[in-house]
Amino acid sequence: LPSLSKKGLSIEPSVTLAIDAKAKAMISSGENVISFSIGEPDFNTPKNIREAGIEAIEMGITKYTPASGTLELRKSICKKFKDDNNLDYSPSQIVVSNGGKHSIYNALMAILNPLDEVIFSIPYWVSYPELVSIAGGTPVMIKTKEENGFKFNSEDLDKVKSDRTKAIIINSPNNPTGSVYTKEELLDIANWAVKNDVFVISDELYEKLVYDGEEHISIASLNDEIKNLTIVINGMSKAYSMTGWRIGYAAANQDIATIMANLQSHTTSNPCSISQYASVEGLTGPQDSLIDMKMEFNNRRLKMTKLVNEIKGITCNIPKGAFYIMMNCSQYIGKEVAGVKINSSVDFSDMLLEKCKVAVVPGLAFGDDNYVRLSYATSMENIEEGIKRIKNLLGEK
Ligand code: PLP
């Protein structure tokens, strides 16, 4: 073979998908594996949205659409931004893409020049480092602490700032930590971004999943200056249990939105016409299934954190958002468990999969080896059984 792309070769495969594949392989060979490695809601897409998808097919809405999405969907998204986030955008500032991940990619491609630096926190969502690198930038990470709710602030940003700093990625509610930034915390970061003339990519995919009376605030809504610097990323995947439909969207300053739309027009044309039609129904139709889903997630969150905190040598904070918990397993690193030497979160995850048939994601995938991530996007029954298995292995406090 002639030589392959250096950039392509440097891309790491997703560790979360690798663990999931291993667990699925065990399940298909008949093993009774409980998976806490899931990154998607376990509910079906709400009926009204499914029916809208069928209707779209029957009506022949099966052709190309404008590159940045149908006007109808972009208008619905503008209304969503106004109603939920008090943000005013015109449809031309909205770019609908093939999922939130694709929106983040387009956003990075629109703002980065070679070696520009993009700051985000550790633990990070698995794709941020790779997406930044693919877009030609350099990832710069701030290691956050559990006792600070895994959040960073303007002082942390000062420490890593350089002449090449181009953007910050903020993800609230956060995957994997479940942290939610408060208005004051966002204002501190917004003031820093404005002072230093740095873009903000605000990944708000988990917006609808906040608990304990916590409120999701979009950093872009704080004032006009930060709005102009922010690319808001959101989508249908997590809020409406539509991961497979592949609809994400971005809202940005007109210059940025235009570049994103142009880029998309030459790479993927438009997002799926059927999914776009169904997404209009999702955004404008009844929202009750969303409320039911959130209530169920909340019950599972409380159950899972309670049970996990009963396990010997393990701690976890109660997260405020999304559907993940970070289980602190640092007390086991360097020790032997069930005859297995644990040197990392990967060893710990492998050990759990092997010894109790429970799949979790090693913190290494998120840049922090002291944790494993558990998703509660699974039934209450699985949560009880899975955590019981871990407790039986490690012991009770
Ligand atoms: N951002 C975060 C923090 C996520 O966890 C995910 C999905 O796991 C995404 C973005 C991308 O979502 P999608 O591309 O499915 O819309």
Is 140 within the bounds of a domain? yes
Total domains in the chain come to 2
Is 143 within the bounds of a domain? yes
- If asked whether residues 268 and 154 sit together in one domain, one would say yes
Phi then psi for residue 141, to 5 deg, are -115, 145
CATH number for the domain harbouring residue 29: 3.90.1150.10
- If asked whether residues 170 and 87 sit together in one domain, one would say yes
From the list 326, 335, 350, the residue with the least C-alpha distance to 395 is: 335
Which residue's CA is the nearest one to ligand 1's atom 3?
A: 175
How large is the ipTM?
0.99
Please tell me the predicted confidence (pLDDT) of residue 16: 65
Is 303 within the bounds of a domain? yes
Which of 251, 284, 317 is the endpoint of a domain? 284
Please report the atom of ligand 1 found closest to the CA of residue 243: 15
CA of 251 to the centre of ligand 1 (A): 16
- If asked whether residues 75 and 207 sit together in one domain, one would say yes
- Residue pair 121/151 in contact (Cβ under 8 Å)? The answer is yes
Is 49 within the bounds of a domain? no
- Residue pair 193/223 in contact (Cβ under 8 Å)? The answer is no
CATH number for the domain harbouring residue 95: 3.40.640.10
Please report the atom of ligand 1 found closest to the CA of residue 235: 16
What average pLDDT score do residues 260-285 get?
A: 97
Is 67 within the bounds of a domain? yes
- If asked whether residues 224 and 87 sit together in one domain, one would say yes
Angle subtended at Cα 125 by Cα 120 and Cα 130, rounded to the nearest 5 degrees? 80
Is 1 within the bounds of a domain? no
Please tell me the predicted confidence (pLDDT) of residue 293: 94
DSSP state of 340: E
| pLDDT tens digits, 202-224 | 999 999 999 999 999 999 999 99
Question: How does DSSP assign 67-127, residue by residue?
Answer: TT--HHHHHHHHHHHHHHH-----GGGEEEESSHHHHHHHHHHHH--TT-EEEEEES--TH
CA of 294 to the centre of ligand 1 (A): 17
Which of 284, 300, 319 is the endpoint of a domain? 284
| pLDDT tens digits, 6-33 | 888 888 777 666 777 888 889 999 999 9
- Residue pair 87/218 in contact (Cβ under 8 Å)? The answer is yes
- Residue 188 in this model has a pLDDT that exceeds 80: yes
CA of 101 to the centre of ligand 1 (A): 6
Pocket test for ligand 1, best of 125, 204, 207 (most atoms within 8 A of CB): 125
What residues are paired with 165 via a beta bridge? 117
Is 93 within the bounds of a domain? yes
- If asked whether residues 212 and 341 sit together in one domain, one would say no
Please tell me the predicted confidence (pLDDT) of residue 130: 94
- If asked whether residues 278 and 295 sit together in one domain, one would say no
Max avg pLDDT among 5-14, 51-60, 286-295: 51-60
What residues does ligand 1 touch, defined as CB less than 6 Å away?
A: 39, 99-101, 125, 171, 175, 203, 205, 235, 237, 243, 248
- If asked whether residues 362 and 236 sit together in one domain, one would say no
> Cα Rg for the chain, rounded, in angstroms?
21
pLDDT-based confidence at residue 39 (cuts at 50, 70, 90) = confident
What integer best gives the mean pLDDT of the chain? Answer: 95
What average pLDDT score do residues 315-325 get?
A: 96
Between CA 55 and CA 280 the distance in angstroms is 12
Q: Report the percent of the chain where pLDDT is more than 70.
A: 99
| pLDDT tens digits, 98-119 | 999 999 999 999 999 999 999 9
Between CA 179 and CA 137 the distance in angstroms is 26
| pLDDT tens digits, 107-165 | 999 999 999 999 999 999 999 999 999 999 999 999 999 999 999 999 999 999 999 99
| pTM for the model | 0.96
- If asked whether residues 204 and 82 sit together in one domain, one would say yes
Which of 261, 284, 307 is the endpoint of a domain? 284
Pocket test for ligand 1, best of 104, 174, 205 (most atoms within 8 A of CB): 205
CA of 205 to the centre of ligand 1 (A): 6
Neighbours of 305 (CB within 10 A): 19
Query: Do the strands 94-97 and 248-251 form a parallel or antiparallel pair, or are they unpaired?
Result: antiparallel
Domain that holds residue 28: 6-44+289-394
CA of 100 to the centre of ligand 1 (A): 5
| pLDDT tens digits, 294-314 | 999 999 999 999 999 999 999
Please report the atom of ligand 1 found closest to the CA of residue 100: 16
- If asked whether residues 13 and 68 sit together in one domain, one would say no
Is 195 within the bounds of a domain? yes
Please tell me the predicted confidence (pLDDT) of residue 372: 97
Extract the tokens encoding 253.
Answer: 């300053």
Please report the atom of ligand 1 found closest to the CA of residue 322: 5
- If asked whether residues 203 and 145 sit together in one domain, one would say yes
pLDDT-based confidence at residue 351 (cuts at 50, 70, 90) = very high
- If asked whether residues 208 and 350 sit together in one domain, one would say no
- If asked whether residues 193 and 84 sit together in one domain, one would say yes
CA distances from 205 to 37, 201, 363 (A): 18, 12, 21
